[in-house]
Amino acid sequence: MKQRSWIAVGLLSLAALLTLAPFVWLFCASLKTNEHFFGSTLLPLREQGLGIDWSKLSFENYRRLFQELDFARALANSVFLSSVTGLLATFCCAAGGYALARFHFRGRGLVTACVLGAMLVPAPLLLAPGYQLLHSIGLLDSLAGLVIPAIAPAFGIFLFRQASLSSVPVELLEAARIDGCSEFRTFTIVALPLIRPMIGTFLMMTFLGVWNNFITPQVVLQSPERFPLSVAVAQFRGVYYQDYGLQMAGTVIGVIPVLILFLALQREFVSGLTSGALKG
Amino acid sequence: MMGPAASSRLAPWLFLSPFLVIFVVFTLYPLARSVVLATHQTFGPEHEQYVGARNFAAMIADPLFWTALRNTFVFALASVFIQLPISLGLALLIERRGTPARPLWRILLFSPALVGVVFAAMIFGIILEKRTGLLNVMLHNLTAGAWNLDFAWTQQYVMSALIVASHWMFVGFNMIYFVAALQNVRRDLAEAAVIDGAGSIDRFRHVTLPAIRPVAGFVVLTSIIGSFQLFELPYLMLNQTAGPDNRGLTIVMYLYQVGFEVGDLGYASAIGWGLAVVLVVCTVVQRLLARREEAAV
């Protein structure tokens, strides 16, 4: 039995090593300029003696990103898009999901069917007609054209409906109404605190989804000054094709901040991710 | 002033209004529009010409569409039959009794799921490259120079390269679902099975598997749906091309090329419907299989 435990830990360690290797490689690669890029797998070693040749490492790639290539703009766009979309979508989905779970009204079955149906529509199918629609209402190549269609995803309505069904007791809502609370106050003061865990989870899921989204901004945006990080970094693959260090530094900026943010908040995030599978 | 009865009749509609507006404008209308578009040939967003069912006829006869479908299908098979067993295996290793530091393993193996596909494609595009690639350099050193492979750019390795990169991203992600499902395994049953002298394979088949079956079905379905929407990974790893001999062409990449590089939104919509049909068929087949298995248990 003891011996088997060691095998398990050994296999897990191997998996962890394979998982972490690309992160370590990425960070090392971002510190190397092109002339030293091919010289070493991870960090450049000294030609004589042992140890790392620090003189071949620098933050030059990062300096070029921010001073020559206006990468701060892309970073700001990503922060703006992710947080604004995240906040609006969380509020709209919480309100909608709560209404679907806790109000009896004519048409509720139809709306629920719409929510479930919309979740089945594959996103790429809407790419071409969505592009044409944004073109005809003048939202192409604008940040609003990215935010507005994303503020009330059916998936979010569904998650908040499930959360409200399981954690907002009807009696509490009745009590608030008898005390004279308006429906809006009942929602914000009674229901919202009860579904707080789902609010945290969904906010993070949306933030991360928008931050990492590529195909939508790639299709909707044309002006480089509006590009989020994902699209800006992908440009390097074409324009600065030979400049590996620069590509990797841009990728570090796209990866590390969210990684730190989400590892800090991982408990809520991971438990919420699986709630769709277990309760749905 | 509205009476309380009127306000509570209106309230749900007000709460749902953002969803309803967005749903009608950005889902329902484009969905209907894509039916219309699929019967037109377009040149950019403004000029279109009615062609009837010719887009669909062209699609059936289009060798690139079938190449894309085949590649995507191979990728989906790998996701279900290679990736998910690895995810389940890791989940079992973490959750088995006597494994130390469970939360640490979970979050460590999960962490690549936080990396966007674009960024992972950037990393693996270079890792799998011939001159600089981490993998190639290691192979080169291990085999004393006998092996020197250009993974992402050699015909027969393109799909393997994509699968390796996608495994790095999603093995840990799917593992989390299995970890959650394993919490449903009843300890008392597992212990009773041990007392009855059941081996670990029997215990897995008769105690663990029934408990995780619903979640496994969900994970299989989401993996298939996700696989069929593969785009960014090959598109960026292969430097915005479909790779040598179109070995990295996927359905959504083909849709993107047709719609936004060629500018024919009509044919792109027809391809979108082709994708939707494939996904519906997969979903129905998975449901039927799951139901038959449930009946068999």
- Interatomic CA distance for residues B63 and B146, integer angstroms: 37
Lowest mean pLDDT among A161-170, B124-133, B158-167, B269-278: B124-133
DSSP string over B61-89:
H-HHHHHHHHHHHHHHHHIIIIIHHHHHH
pLDDT at residue B141 in the model:
67
Average pLDDT over residues A180-193: 92
Q: Residue A145: inside a domain, yes or no?
A: yes
Q: Residue A233: inside a domain, yes or no?
A: yes
Average pLDDT over residues B58-64: 94
- Residues B115-126: tens digit of each pLDDT: 999 999 999 888
pLDDT at residue B209 in the model:
86
pLDDT at residue A228 in the model:
96
When pLDDT is cut at 50, 70 and 90, the band that residue B134 belongs to is low
What share of chain A in percent tops pLDDT 90?
63
Instruction: Compute the mean pLDDT over every residue in chain A, rounded to the nearest whole number.
Output: 88
Residue A110, classified by CB atoms within 10 Å of its CB into exposed (0-12), middle (13-18) or buried (19+), is exposed
Domain count, chain A: 1
B3 touches chain A (CB under 8 A): no
Q: If phi over 0 gives left and psi between -120 and 50 gives alpha, with beta otherwise, what is residue B230?
A: beta
pLDDT at residue A236 in the model:
86
- Residues A128-140: tens digit of each pLDDT: 999 999 999 999 9
Lowest mean pLDDT among A56-65, B20-29, B58-67, B68-77: A56-65
Average pLDDT over residues A40-58: 73
Q: Residue A163: inside a domain, yes or no?
A: yes
pLDDT at residue B7 in the model:
65
Chain A residues 221-240 with a CB less than 8 Å from chain B: 230, 233-234, 236-238
Average pLDDT over residues B173-178: 93
What share of chain B in percent tops pLDDT 70?
89
Distances, alpha carbon A18 to alpha carbons A29, A229, A253, B169, in Å: 17, 26, 22, 11
Tokens read off for A101: 């779970």
Q: What residue type is B73 in one-letter code?
A: F
Examine the pLDDT at B254 and tell me if it is beyond 90: yes
Q: What is the DSSP letter of A189?
A: I
pLDDT at residue B19 in the model:
97
Q: Residue A169: inside a domain, yes or no?
A: yes
Average pLDDT over residues A186-191: 93
Examine the pLDDT at B2 and tell me if it is beyond 60: no
Lowest mean pLDDT among A76-80, B21-25, B66-70, B209-213: B209-213
When pLDDT is cut at 50, 70 and 90, the band that residue B185 belongs to is confident
Examine the pLDDT at A243 and tell me if it is beyond 80: yes
How many Å lie between the alpha carbon of B252 and the closest alpha carbon of chain A? 7
Tokens read off for B242: 């479909």
Q: What residue type is B254 in one-letter code?
A: Y
pLDDT at residue B21 in the model:
97
pLDDT at residue B1 in the model:
42
CA-based R_g, chain B, Å = 24
Strands (DSSP E) along chain B, which ranges? 40-43, 47-50
- Residues A102-131: tens digit of each pLDDT: 999 999 999 999 999 999 899 999 999 999
Per the listing, tokens 């003048």 go with A138
pLDDT at residue B195 in the model:
84
pLDDT at residue B132 in the model:
58
pLDDT at residue A266 in the model:
72
- Interatomic CA distance for residues A14 and B95, integer angstroms: 17
Q: Residue A48: inside a domain, yes or no?
A: no
- Interatomic CA distance for residues B55 and A128, integer angstroms: 14
pLDDT at residue A161 in the model:
95
Examine the pLDDT at B294 and tell me if it is beyond 80: no
pLDDT at residue A78 in the model:
96
pLDDT at residue B153 in the model:
66
Average pLDDT over residues B206-222: 87
Question: Which residues of chain A lie closer than 8 angstroms to B274, CB-CB?
Answer: none
Lowest mean pLDDT among A42-46, A79-83, A194-198, B224-228: A42-46
DSSP string over B190-247:
HHHHHHTT--HHHHIIIIIHHHHHHHHHHHHHHHHHHHHT--HHHHHHTTTS--GGGT
Examine the pLDDT at B171 and tell me if it is beyond 70: yes
Bridge partner list, B43: B47
A76 touches chain B (CB under 8 A): no
Q: Nearest to residue A92, comparing CAs of A152, A43, A51?
A: A152
pLDDT at residue B279 in the model:
92
Say how far residue A237 (Cα) sits from the centre of its chain: 22
Chain B residues 136-175 with a CB less than 8 Å from chain A: 137-138, 168, 171-172
Cβ pair A38:B176 closer than 8 A: no
DSSP SS3 for A223: coil
Examine the pLDDT at B165 and tell me if it is beyond 50: yes
Q: Residue A34: inside a domain, yes or no?
A: no
pLDDT at residue A279 in the model:
46
Chain B residues 167-226 with a CB less than 8 Å from chain A: 168, 171-172, 176-177, 180-181, 215, 218-219, 225
Q: What is the DSSP letter of B149?
A: -
- Interatomic CA distance for residues B1 and A138, integer angstroms: 38
Tell me the residue range of the domain where A144 lies.
64-279
Structural contact between residues A74 and A229, judged by C-beta atoms closer than 8 angstroms:
yes
Cβ pair A19:B45 closer than 8 A: no
Relative orientation angle of helices B84-95 and B102-110, to the nearest 10 degrees: 160
When pLDDT is cut at 50, 70 and 90, the band that residue A84 belongs to is very high
Q: Residue A217: inside a domain, yes or no?
A: yes
Average pLDDT over residues B233-261: 90
How many Å lie between the alpha carbon of B40 and the closest alpha carbon of chain A? 12
Tell me the CATH number at A143.
1.10.3720.10
Examine the pLDDT at A280 and tell me if it is beyond 50: no
Q: Residue A274: inside a domain, yes or no?
A: yes
